[in-house]
Amino acid sequence: MKRALVGLALLVFFAAGTAVASERRPTLAELESEVICPTCKTTLDQSRSPIADRMRRFISQRIAAGDTKTEIKQKLVDQFGESVLAAPPRHGFGLLAWVLPLAGIGVGALVVGALAWRWSRTRGSGGAAPPAALDPELERRLDDELARFDD
């Protein structure tokens, strides 16, 4: 148990360090997948439009100048608007894009769970009525027929 906690703490420590390093020294490839071309509405890594080339040059210049990922994105947002970001912001109205899918999954899981519970309750209680007893005459004829097949 102690080893697992130490391993988890190390994993979190190294993952946080990688994220901080990515923020301080972003690469062009990182930002290309996080920024959308305003002309063709695809990420920069997929776009070949002239404006996408201009944006790539701008990002490369800002990286060379030592800007962080957040600063570069903010300058692009100032110039082109928030629609230039591939992922919506995690505040304000953009937060709905992050919360609604998770809420939908949660509600769906609750509905499926409730239906499964209800189905198991009706099935376990013997939802169908027990079969009615056969007419004695019909039962005698059935026994005669079955005896004939046994011989």
Torsion of CA 110, 112, 113, 115, to 10 degrees: 120
Percentage with pLDDT > 70 across the chain: 80
The predicted pLDDT at position 71 comes to 93
Distance of CA 90 to the CA centre of its chain: 16
Residues of the chain with pLDDT under 70: 1-2, 4-22, 123-130, 151
Residues 79 and 36 sit within 8 Å (Cβ to Cβ): no
The predicted pLDDT at position 8 comes to 62
- C-alpha–C-alpha distance, residues 34 and 72, integer Å: 11
The predicted pLDDT at position 17 comes to 47
Strands (DSSP E) contained in the chain are none
